Amino acid sequence: MTGGNEVRAPLVTIAVPSLNQGQFLDQALTSIFSQGVPVEVMLADGGSTDNTCEIIEKWQAKLAWWCSEPDGGQAAAINKAISRGSAPFVCWLNADDTYLPDGLPQLLKRLQGDVALPAVYGRVWNTDEYGRPTKPYWTGPFSEWRLAQHCFISQPGTLMRREVWEAVDGVDENLHLAMDYDLWWKILRRFGPLAFVPEFVATNRVHSLTKTASQRREHYREAMEVVRRHTGGVPLKWYLAWPWAVWLRSRLAEQQI
């Protein structure tokens, strides 16, 4: 019999890629460490020049590892951070996103309950810059046909097995905007469908500084190339939706800045 508090081995390795997201980073870390799940958090900052280092210092005692230095981009930072860990389940949470209360346990419960599942994803709220919910991310039960039409899996609401992540070599570091979309396809092709968790588990902050908003045309093109890579073609929907997804949304975003 031993005394003192029992230290539980981490179940989830969470990578937190960040670059000049100090205004949001504290909320992201607070949401992670409020989940009640033993985690190891690896924070990979790309050399921020804002107040990020002050936030890192505040949380340093809880971080399993961190760095703040120039890197090869978001995908490279995610791969580096997850490779530092050893927990059986892995994911990443961008510095401007958050988990909802009990979000991570819901995902973990689903994965632990079925050893045949490679990865799971839940429902996610889109929020404004201040974290106020605006509308749910458009998601639902898994369908390969649907995945070819658009990326209906919202990355903040996902969790994978480490052996699956390692078998598909993590995220493609040559991609800078649709690396998550490519990852879902790689998992599908190698291990089969991801499983849907119908509960809301996370938030996706939508603001003018995100790469999705500021590089909308490039993001759309990269997503189309991902579809072509994994299916051999691009559904007509992508071409029909181009004016709305790129031009009109860009104009609307400009009006909100």
- Residue 149 pLDDT > 90: yes
Domain membership flag for residue 188: yes
- Residue 18 pLDDT > 70: yes
What tokens does 128 get?
């404004």
Domain membership flag for residue 69: yes
The residue segments making up the domain with residue 117 are 12-209
pLDDT (0 to 100) of residue 239? 82
Task: Find the mean pLDDT for residues 188-217.
Answer: 83
pLDDT (0 to 100) of residue 202? 98
Please tell me the distance from the alpha carbon of residue 24 to that of residue 98, in angstroms, as a whole number: 9
Residue 207 CB neighbours (<10 A): 18
- Residue 150 pLDDT > 80: yes
pLDDT (0 to 100) of residue 184? 98
Q: With bands split at pLDDT 50, 70 and 90, how would you rate the model's confidence at 207? A: low
What tokens does 118 get?
């490679």
Domain membership flag for residue 136: yes
Which sign does the torsion angle of CA 184, 48, 124, 80 carry? Answer: positive
pLDDT (0 to 100) of residue 256? 42
The model's pTM is 0.90
* Contact present, 104 and 120 (Cβ < 8 Å): no
Q: What phi and psi, each to the nearest 5 degrees, are found at residue 7?
A: -95, 120
What tokens does 35 get?
């989940």
- Residue 237 pLDDT > 90: no
pLDDT above 70 coverage of the chain, percent: 88
Domain membership flag for residue 4: no
Domain membership flag for residue 127: yes
Report the number of secondary-structure helices (H) and strands (E) in the chain. Answer: 11, 9
Domain membership flag for residue 17: yes
Domain membership flag for residue 128: yes
Domain membership flag for residue 41: yes
- Residue 195 pLDDT > 50: yes
Please tell me the distance from the alpha carbon of residue 11 to that of residue 20, in angstroms, as a whole number: 29
Number of structural domains found in the chain: 1
Which residues, at least 6 apart from 224, have a Cβ–Cβ distance to it below 8 Å?
Answer: 234, 238
**Any idea what the CATH number is for the domain that residue 84 is in?**
3.90.550.10
Give the torsion through C-alpha atoms of 13, 213, 18, 103, to 10 deg: -30
Please tell me the distance from the alpha carbon of residue 33 to that of residue 38, in angstroms, as a whole number: 9
pLDDT (0 to 100) of residue 243? 57
Q: What are the CA-CA distances from residue 99 to residues 94, 120, 137, 217 (Å)?
A: 10, 15, 14, 28
* Lowest-confidence region among 34-43, 148-157, 208-217: 208-217
Please tell me the distance from the alpha carbon of residue 223 to that of residue 117, in angstroms, as a whole number: 25
